Copies of this chain bind each other. A is one copy, B any other.
């Protein structure tokens, strides 16, 4: 999706909520859409400090992430170890996550069948499904290999 379209939608959203388009909000939106990675609030804050542009405080980063999240521009996902990371979502198909327990790498996958089964499961319990989180944790290929070769000796208790 073209970034100008994202910006347009953001402006619309802000208008609808009686919020203002400030340089800070605009810069955060741009930065969030400039990466394809998952990032924490703190990482985003670090990017904004290092790079050129309107200064943004930590508080504003958090406040804006909340706005972006509410507007469906970003989605947060907890990494399973207490952390929270975000990703931009406009123009991306829904997907779920695979998290490597060793290196922290986050991969993505889609499975339409699982989605359908979720709907069925929710309906069976009388729930109206709004969203879901599916996070698979394990070891990515490289980390698993390391474990298999190095794991032997350290496994002895």
Contact = CB atoms under 8 A, between A and B. Distances in A.
A125 B98 contact: yes
Contact of A109 (B125, B131, B133, B141): B125
Interface string A102-127: 00000101010110011001101111
A122 B101 contact: no
Contacts of A141: 126-127
A156 to B, nearest CB: 13
A126 B138 CA distance: 10
Contacts of A127: 98, 100, 107, 136, 138-141, 144
A135 B135 CA distance: 9
Query: Can you list the 3 inter-chain pairs with the closest CB atoms, starting with the nearest?
Result: A126-B141, A130-B138, A129-B138
